[in-house]
Structure 1
Amino acid sequence: MDTRLKPETEKLLQASHDWMLRLEDPRATDEDRRRFQDWLDADPRHRDIYDRAITFREAFGRLSKDDFDDDLRRPSWRERFTAASDRARGLSEAARARAAFAGVLAVVAAVAVILPIVSGLPESMPVSALVSATHASGTGETKRVTLADGTQVTLSASTTIVAAYFLDKRHVRLTGGAAFFDVAPDRARPFSVEAGALTATALGTEFDVRSSAGVFRVAVAEGAVEVSFPLILNGRATSLVTRRSLNAGQKVSATSDAGLGAVSGVDPANVAAWRAGRLVYSGASIAELVGDANRYSTIPIEIDPDAPGIADFEVRGAFVGSDIDHLLMSIADIHPIVIDRSDPDRIVLRRRHGA
């Protein structure tokens, strides 16, 4: 059977893989996410191919060597994918991307052969019920979507999620921004949201997950959520995991430097206040606020690299996400910051002279 891909399909898969790597990189910017949304909207095939690429990676990354009969192991497609990833370690970034993509192509090209095998697996195999979908919102847009399991998700501005479903679990990856989840109850399949190294797991509840400037936040409006994050020792992540249990009216945050923080209280009415256009902060940094503001602003907002201390200034208060001018003027009134608009293509936050 000829399993070679058409050149056009291979080109779209290459583009999909490039977007996967870019969006999952901690250095991904709001501009990257805006360009990704534009790429998805440019052609219906883009979203379809991207969803399939995510599906194949999620599926074959979870198969074990016992999932196939011995006469089918020459070698398994999972082994080819893993081998490509292993070979990529230690290579340059460009070479690593090419090697990893070779693994994706090996998996996708094998679909014609593998699908009959997968469909014959026992019902206990998670991959037999796999569904994957990508949802994204535009700059300044709040978008409501319904996932395949009935879960209602509200996406904040410039936010992208990738949802994957298995017989034994439901998994969503938040690549940036914020999302509020009203989870459809299903005790047989826990619902988890991954943002960076943070994972929030619930059975049936309403909660908010935010990712901005390397800060990850979870707040619960109803029900209960378990949050996990790598244990940080001497400033480095370990293989150990720290966990916090949150109930309604509680929140927690995590960073790669400090790890998972202590649980604190929050007014349930203020959980995901951004759904009503309000950005509410209680001790957040300027860096985090700027990260959020960039999801609403049509002009990129930056912090002067020669004044890094600005990024750590603390912010408390509520702002209207759509009124970027008022937000910036407010923080300039509170802190020794000057809003530099001399460049029409960007807004720069600088330290006030003499401060």
Structure 2
Amino acid sequence: MIAAAVAVMLFIVAAIVTVRTFSGVDHYETRIGQISDIALDDGSTLHLNSDSAAEVRFTDHGRKVRILKGEASFDVAHDRSRPFDVEARSAVIRAVGTAFNVRLRPSLVELTVTQGTVTVHSGNDLAQQISAGSGAVIQPRSVSLTHLDSRFIGQRTAWREQMVELDGETIEQAASEFNRYRAAPILIGDTRVSSLRIGGRFRITDSKEFLSALQLSLPIRVVAGQDGSVMLLYQDEPEPADNAAGE
């Protein structure tokens, strides 16, 4: 029953919503559970994660992308005469020929540079250069640089391979990550479940293996709802038979 519910609620589709306006702006949007790779006119590639949207406008003098929601990754074609600018809330990320990932989180923008170098400007903060192997936490008036090892970069960009990579995250964090790709959520029905931790690499197209891993490795019971949602409950240890008989 759990497998059937999971199969209904997880999906990846090839189509993407694309709208070209009279002003020459292309609008791209993915639905929940959809990941799309979009070839842009200049030879660059825009990768959109689940439930994400972006606007693209190219002119003879520049290339501009505005992330409206969600997460996007870029493989930028080299063209010094036309800088490639990505607007993410208050931040402007400029690249010439490079690769990087941008995720809009509730109160900040998370940047990961996987190839080349970008410059970042946010609010009144001076522009900063960020090279491959580094990232940044971008807020309206600050840019905080962080060094990222290859494992952490792989974890942040695993969605490009349609995977979720976990390395000791809490069940609450893991469920939140999987819920980005589900039409009906994984819910936590017991506070004791929230702080348990799990690691592993799981396909986002099929959370059945993730739910199975929870039940095999942790004291968690999975209950499927009729609406396709999944409830995680704490599995108490059964009482020993002799104790139960003595009561």
What is the TM-score with the length of structure 2 in the denominator?
A: 0.66
- What per-residue deviation string (whole Å, max 9, x for no partner) do you get for residues 270-296 of structure 1? 262222222235676766644542332
SS at match of 1:154: strand
Going from structure 1 to structure 2, the CA distance change for 1:172 and 1:291 (only over 3 Å counts) comes to farther
Runs of 5+ unmatched residues, structure 1: 1-37, 56-130, 230-238
Q: Matched residues in 2 for 1:227 and 1:333: separation?
A: 44
Partner of 2:245: none
Q: Matched residues in 2 for 1:198 and 1:313: separation?
A: 35
Runs of 5+ unmatched residues, structure 2: 1-14, 237-247
- What per-residue deviation string (whole Å, max 9, x for no partner) do you get for residues 58-108 of structure 1? xxxxxxxxxxxxxxxxxxxxxxxxxxxxxxxxxxxxxxxxxxxxxxxxxxx
- What per-residue deviation string (whole Å, max 9, x for no partner) do you get for residues 99-139 of structure 1? xxxxxxxxxxxxxxxxxxxxxxxxxxxxxxxx310122344
SS at match of 2:205: coil
What amino acid is the match of 2:75?
D
Going from structure 1 to structure 2, the CA distance change for 1:265 and 1:158 (only over 3 Å counts) comes to same
Partner of 1:209: 102
Identity percentage over the alignment?
24
Q: Matched residues in 2 for 1:299 and 1:164: separation?
A: 34
Partner of 2:89: 196
Using CA pairs under 8 Å that are at least 6 residues apart, name the structure with larger relative contact order, 1 or 2: 2
Partner of 1:245: 129
Going from structure 1 to structure 2, the CA distance change for 1:335 and 1:218 (only over 3 Å counts) comes to farther
Going from structure 1 to structure 2, the CA distance change for 1:156 and 1:338 (only over 3 Å counts) comes to same
- Per the TM alignment, residue 183 of structure 1 is displaced from its structure 2 partner at its CA by 0.7
Q: Matched residues in 1 for 2:98 and 2:231: separation?
A: 40
SS at match of 1:193: strand
The total of aligned residue pairs comes to 221
Equivalent residues in 2 for 1:137-286 (5 A)? Answer: 137-214=30-107, 216-229=109-122, 239-241=123-125, 244-254=128-138, 260-267=143-150, 270=154, 272-281=157-166
Equivalent residues in 2 for 1:280-299 (5 A)? Answer: 280-281=165-166, 289-299=174-184
What is the TM-score with the length of structure 1 in the denominator?
A: 0.49
Equivalent residues in 2 for 1:80-159 (5 A)? Answer: 131-159=24-52
- What per-residue deviation string (whole Å, max 9, x for no partner) do you get for residues 295-345 of structure 1? 3223234567x96x94x8877653321232333455677888765534524
Among 312, 326, 330, which residue is 2:209 paired with? 326
Q: Matched residues in 1 for 2:221 and 2:97: separation?
A: 45
RMSD of Structure 2 on Structure 1 (CA)? 4.1
Going from structure 1 to structure 2, the CA distance change for 1:193 and 1:282 (only over 3 Å counts) comes to farther
Normalized per residue, the structure richer in strand is: 2
Normalized per residue, the structure richer in helix is: 1
